[in-house]
């Protein structure tokens, strides 16, 4: 099953700070008809973030929220131009952000997706491929390798 959409990939995004970057990503999900409200979904993302950082280390963050505002499970992927301070577990700044929007009732699917992405990103070469991809097509091809 493909969990990524070419339309939800953004490359060369310059992030000023964590909050505005997450706001932009929520807005992007809204514009792409993934969520029905930006404010409430952003609040859910930030609540999760304040509980514990989603900066999982190795220059990657996976902010996520389950909410009844989400139409179907989708993932926005931002590859940044800069490295963004994210309060990550290893104190490294972030280069790639996966924002996962999950319908309230899709807990099992959600756990599979989270684990699939995490397992893929544990491999150094996989992260390097993402960091160095030159085009959206190249990025999408790499993301399609992630199995859930």
CATH number at residue 124: 3.40.930.10
Q: What are the tokens at 82?
A: 């800069």
For residue 135, with 0-12 CB atoms within 10 Å meaning exposed, 13-18 middle and 19 or more buried, which class applies?
exposed
Note whether residue 39 is domain-resident: yes
The structure's pTM equals: 0.96
Per-residue pLDDT at 2:
74
Per-residue pLDDT at 104:
94
**Residue-number span of the structural domain to which 91 is assigned:** 6-142
Per-residue pLDDT at 148:
82
Over residues 32-51, the mean pLDDT reads 96
Task: Check pLDDT > 70 for residue 1.
Answer: no
Note whether residue 147 is domain-resident: no
């Amino acid at each position: 099953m493909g969990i990524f959409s070419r339309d939800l990939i953004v490359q060369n995004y310059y992030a000023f700070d964590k909050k505005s970057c997450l706001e932009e990503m929520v807005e992007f999900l809204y514009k792409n008809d993934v969520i029905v409200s930006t404010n409430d979904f952003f609040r859910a993302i930030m609540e999760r973030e304040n509980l514990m950082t989603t900066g999982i280390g190795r220059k990657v963050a996976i902010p996520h929220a389950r909410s009844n505002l989400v139409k179907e499970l989708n993932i926005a992927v931002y590859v940044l131009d800069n490295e963004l301070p994210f309060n990550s577990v290893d104190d490294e700044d972030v280069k790639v952000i996966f924002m996962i929007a999950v319908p309230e009732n899709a807990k099992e699917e959600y756990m599979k997706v989270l684990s699939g992405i995490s397992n893929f990103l544990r491999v150094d070469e996989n992260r390097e491929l993402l960091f160095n991809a030159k085009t959206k097509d190249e990025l999408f091809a790499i993301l399609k390798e992630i199995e859930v």
